[in-house]
Amino acid sequence: MKSHAKAVVIGGGVVGASVLYHLTKAGWRDVLLIERAELTSGSTWHAAGGMHTVNGDPNVAKLQQYTIKLYEEIERISGQSCGVHITGGIMLAGTRERLDWLKMAKARGRYLGMELEIISVDEAEKLFPLMDKSHFTGALYDPIEGHVDPYGVTHAYAKSAQIGGAEIVRHTRVTDLKQRADGTWDVITDHGNVHAEHVVNAGGLWAREVGRMVGLELPILAMEHQYLITGDMPELAGKKESLHAIDFEGEIYIRQERGGMLMGTYERAGVPWSPVQTPWDFGQDLLPNDLERIAPSLEVGFAHFPAMGAAGIRKVVNGPFTFAPDGNPLVGPIRGLNNFWVACGVMAGFSQGGGVGLALSQWMVEGDPGADIWGMDVSRYGDWTTLAYTNAKVRENYSRRFRIRFPNEELTAARPLRTTPIYEKLQERHAVFGDYCGLEHPLWFAPSAAEAHDEVSFRRSNAHPHVGAECRAVRDAVGLLEISNYGKFEIKGPGAAEWLSKVMAHRVPHAGRIALTPMLNERGKLIGDFTMCRIADDHVFLIGTYAAEAYYLRWFERHAPPAGVSIRPCAMQYVGLSVAGPKSRALLQSLVREDLSNAAFPFLSFRRMAVGMVPAYVGRVSFTGELGYEIWVTTDYQRALFDALTQAGREYGLRQIGGRALNSMRVEKSFGSWAREFRPIYGPFEAGLGRFVDFTKGEFIGRSAAADEKASGGKLRLVTFKVDAGDADALGDEPVWHEGKVVGWVTSGAFGHRVGDSIALGYIPKELAAAASGFEIEIIGERRKATLLSQAPYDPAGARMRG
């Protein structure tokens, strides 16, 4: 084994092998993979090898498409067969909701260039004669589905990497990792040490343990997973290889395996494996079968596919593999650990392994993943993901793998975990809560405890009229909204403003003022949007998306401020309440001594003041588009602030409002939001944030790329549509059609209660942004007329919020 390498990849499963290959492809030859045993000795060797392109996140779906196309390339380079069988597949729906879900998946696939097709049960039966069609209502057909040989794929990556200059060492276990003062790594193994600039944790089943070597508790857990193989079936003899199938009602997947069928389950009573510590001596072992646990799924499966029941069970495989709480991989650099990368929690290695390897290698070599991988970025998790939290969420996710997650469905595991001081007070007022980074936050308020729940649906739900009443209260009087669920940072020090001016695209405001600002990467793409509140010359309060806190901090660390400037993440040390609506000024004025008149405290002011007895920061800004104020206090004061506002608010018709009303109102104002309208695939001019990019202030990250975008206009435009929507609004990811062709996609949608219309925001090519007509948005399989609006539907001039 060499004693020095530019990068050491720990783990020779399908993911580590893919990372190694992609590093060589990106130009790094001095790379070494260290494997404890033989390649594939984790979860890879006993995988069913199934692969498919469909994924709830279109950006992950793109990486899945990439993975499947890659097999030809690595077979060609390595001469090793991947055993690719592209059979095509069907997803079978047994309920109307599932068929709706499939229609939406098909629609999403359109702008990804996927040729998915909704077919009738009769057509499905022709393609997949093993099914008893009486159990189903329709299906989605995907021609690009199939399976591969896990051994073949891993070795094809490995050989291709070796041809590209990589070295692979087997039967060598990494036992520890030590970081030197210069940030490089000593990789300690049971066969000597390697000094490396970069380390990649692709430890699969042991990724958690490898993480612990550097003090990380990665949110991953292995679950036992079983599939069985039937005896040979006469129904298959002499026929073309059977399609893959997913039966959502049975929560099973099926494919042909030689002369029989392979059937795997995601049972509801899933069992974690080695929940605290994965044994190092676990090798190419299988776990004892537990058919009883999957009996309910098998029963449904054998009823839906009777020939399989008749064929009997030839073999059962029970093996563990790892999941993150949301089922998506964990990829990227770890903040605070120089050049320490992870590629783990990959539960669909044969659909995603290639994309993960590509994104990570580009990130390592080029400094940027080159694709929008927000959904897989390890930084989406924070301190709240303890071992027990991960356990609860992974079990939930596993049990729901084939269940529908409705857009208004809040999952229940690991809740309530984090609450603000007013949680009980909101509960008393019949709040329906959502979970955001483990934090309970109010979504809407029901008239009674009995009504305080969501009836899950793709269409407008029981919350609709109540959310409407909340929006109208904000339009006509005043609403009170908890806004604690934001990320907050305090930037302090003599050079704070100077540093921020380099990191943010907009000018840092003067003391007492607020500026909205995009944050750009070097390619001029959006990697954040913030509210910068200048408290004093050397003190800025920065507000952004909480889910991206670690993502932002990682970026801030990479572009570290000079000595003397400190960055303090303080999300839960400051919590907030917002009052918005035409009566919000009078309400707040009744509690503060400062003059809140427009002249004395205009739009975008920010000041420290006492609200009643509570010391607070008050900013004059509101995401609702109304006159409004955001009030930030340290957590110990939130109850007193809430009591003061609600008591004083009686006189002004104050109503509690939740996140759903806020979403409706910001969509009516065409206000974008992080991870929806603002993502690293868009530039600020495409996203309508061009006015917040200040080219007059001097150098900042992304300046020259942003200038190019300004000159060229970019490729896309964020636009707003009014939709003839029926009883279901757009939600996000629906295709936008123009004159019979898919030209774009929706990023957000909601019913705009103040304007009385269904509204959608989305991206289309800039050339079409002036098109007068011809647009449609596909909502649950129906193309609905969409009218492109030239300005925000509600108060486009902003008179209400400035008034």
Nearest to 738 by CA among 769, 760, 711, 710: 769
**Shortest separation between residue 728's beta carbon and ligand FAD, angstroms:** 32
**Main-chain phi, psi angles of 387, to 5 degrees:** -55, -45
- For 645, the 3-state DSSP assignment is helix
Closest separation in Å from C-beta 44 to ligand FAD = 3
CB-CB contact of 445 with 422 (8 Å): no
CA-CA-CA-CA dihedral for 434, 517, 559, 535, to nearest 10: -90
Task: Give the residues lining the site for ligand FAD (CB under 6 A).
Answer: 10-16, 34-37, 41-44, 46-51, 173-174, 202-206, 210, 225, 227, 317, 319-321, 344, 346-351
CB-wise, 14 or 481, nearer to ligand FAD? 14
* CA 546 – CA 380 distance, rounded (Å): 9
The first and second tokens of residue 620, run together, are 């004059």
Min dist CB 195 to ligand FAD, Å, is: 17
Q: How many residues does the chain have?
A: 803
Collapsed DSSP state (helix, strand, coil) of residue 137: coil
DSSP symbols for 263-292: EEE--TT--EESSS---TT--S--PPP-TT
Assign 540 to helix, strand or coil: strand
Judge contact between 369 and 359, C-beta under 8 A: yes
d(CA 653, CA 587): 10
Distance CA 546, CA 674 (A): 10
| Closer to ligand FAD by Cβ: residue 23 or 614 | 23
Q: Report the DSSP beta bridge partners of residue 764.
A: 717
Phi–psi pair at 439, nearest 5 degrees: -100, 135
CB nearer to ligand FAD: give 230 or 720.
230
- Ramachandran region, residue 164 (left: φ > 0; alpha: ψ -120 to 50; beta: rest): alpha
Burial track 642-676 (b if 16+ CB lie within 10 A, e otherwise): bebbbebbeebebbbbbbbbbbbbbbbbbbbbbeb
Tokens of 486: 């934001």
In whole angstroms, the minimum distance from the beta carbon of 167 to ligand FAD comes to 14
What are the strands, taking DSSP E only, across 248-403? Answer: 252-257, 260-265, 272-273, 313-323, 330-333, 340-344
Separation of alpha carbons 194 and 2, rounded Å: 7
Which of left, alpha, beta for 277 (phi over 0: left; psi -120 to 50: alpha)? beta
CA-only gyration radius of the chain, Å = 27
Q: What are the residues facing 779 on neighbouring strands?
A: 782
Q: Round to whole Å and give the CA distance between 249 and 99.
A: 12
Q: At its nearest, how many Å lie between ligand FAD and the CB of residue 299?
A: 20
The answer to whether 492 and 566 are in contact (CB under 8 A) is yes
Strand partners, 140: 91, 118
Of the pair 320, 714, the CB lying nearest ligand FAD is at: 320
